Amino acid sequence: MARYAIGDLQGCHAEFVALLDKLSFDPGRDCLWLVGDLVNRGPGSLECLRETWALGDAARVVLGNHDLHLLAVARGGARLKRNDTLQSILDAPDREPLLDWLQSQPLMVTQDEWVMTHAGLLPQWTVPQATLLAREIEQHLTGEQGGDFLERMYGNDPDLWRDDLAGVGRLRFIVNAFTRMRFIDAQGRLEFSAKESLDSSPSGFAPWFTFERVDDPHILFGHWAALEGHTPGSRVRVEALDTGCVWGNTLTALNLETGERIHEPRHATQA
């Protein structure tokens, strides 16, 4: 049995299939971890959803911000954005079971030393605390008020965690920390305007993985294509897996047993 973690698909279905072939991936034997953002921007969002869903228990998935955006459009009253490539999912005859499956996915997966989330793990949260917070969101997403939650999850406030946060503000911060985090300050305040390389760090802020933790998980994350798979200055064990396939670079798989990285270049026919 082999375990592989793969970075953001973002609708790059042809590259996903080619990478699985390169890995000789066998769903009856191996396990695939996907760091979220299965959909959007690339041409094969519907196909990526179907491919992952078909893997069944061989795939472990966490939700990314683009996945939540799809759910918000389909079930929370949000609107498509100009560069979205989600219409094929919204028009698909199997959209409801696909969306049901997506909405049931967690924000965080743990096994042994490994922790997988889309954007990372806030240094102020221990793994047990983060696990409980992720479950709060999962319960809201799968509960009777899931549509109402999807309508109200957008926003940049509050930007600083407090244990006594309540209501929509509490839920919004948890979602943002798991799916949108890049730069934070020493107190864990989230900064949302800077999205590019490390050089774009605003004054007083730094990448979340450059802050020390009280525990020592091995963190798998995606979301930040501009890192190109590198985490300079990291003070934690961390693996950046979004290598920007949708932007013309590569789709990356990490063998969790050996540490080997396997890459599939963006296919020229889809550039």
Mean pLDDT of 194-209: 89
CB 254 within 8 A of CB 261: yes
**Terminal-to-terminal C-alpha distance of the chain:** 34
**Domain 3-270, CATH:** 3.60.21.10
- Three-state secondary structure along the chain? CCEEEECCCCCCHHHHHHHHHHCCCCCCCCEEEECCCCCCCCCCHHHHHHHHHHCHHHEEECCCHHHHHHHHHHHCCCCCCCCCCCHHHHHCCCHHHHHHHHHCCCCCEEECCEEECCCCCCCCCCHHHHHHHHHHHHHHHHCCCHHHHHHHCCCCCCCCCCCCCCHHHHHHHHHHHHHCCCEECCCCCEECCCCCCHHHCCCCCEEHHHCCCCCCCEEEECCCHHHCCCCCCCCCEEEECCCEHHHCCEEEEEECCCCCEEEEECCHHHC
Lookup: tokens for 36: 């979220």
Taking 60 as the threshold, does the pLDDT of residue 270 lie above it? Answer: no
Q: Please give the pLDDT value at position 86.
A: 98
Lookup: tokens for 130: 């983060």
Taking 50 as the threshold, does the pLDDT of residue 271 lie above it? Answer: no
Q: What is the CA angle 130-36-187, rounded to 5?
A: 40
Which is it for the CA torsion 103, 39, 97, 152, positive or negative? Answer: positive
CA-CA-CA-CA torsion for 58, 59, 60, 66, nearest 10 degrees? -170
Taking 50 as the threshold, does the pLDDT of residue 235 lie above it? Answer: yes
CB 218 within 8 A of CB 122: no
Lookup: tokens for 184: 């934070």
| Residue of 109, 194, 128, 121 lying closest to 156 (CA atoms) | 194
Going by pLDDT thresholds of 50, 70 and 90, the confidence category of residue 269 is low
Mean pLDDT of 227-238: 96
Q: Please give the pLDDT value at position 196.
A: 80
Taking 90 as the threshold, does the pLDDT of residue 246 lie above it? Answer: yes
Among 55-69, 76-90, 122-136, 140-154, the range scoring the smallest mean pLDDT is: 140-154
Q: Please give the pLDDT value at position 143.
A: 85
**pTM score, two decimals?**
0.96
Taking 80 as the threshold, does the pLDDT of residue 64 lie above it? Answer: yes
Q: Please give the pLDDT value at position 195.
A: 81
Q: What are phi and psi of 194, to 5 degrees?
A: -90, 125
pLDDT in tens, 98-141: 999 999 999 999 999 999 999 999 999 999 999 999 999 999 99
Indicate the domain borders of the chain.
Answer: 3-270
Mean pLDDT of 80-106: 97
Task: Return mean pLDDT, the chain.
Answer: 95
Residue with tokens 């670079």: 249
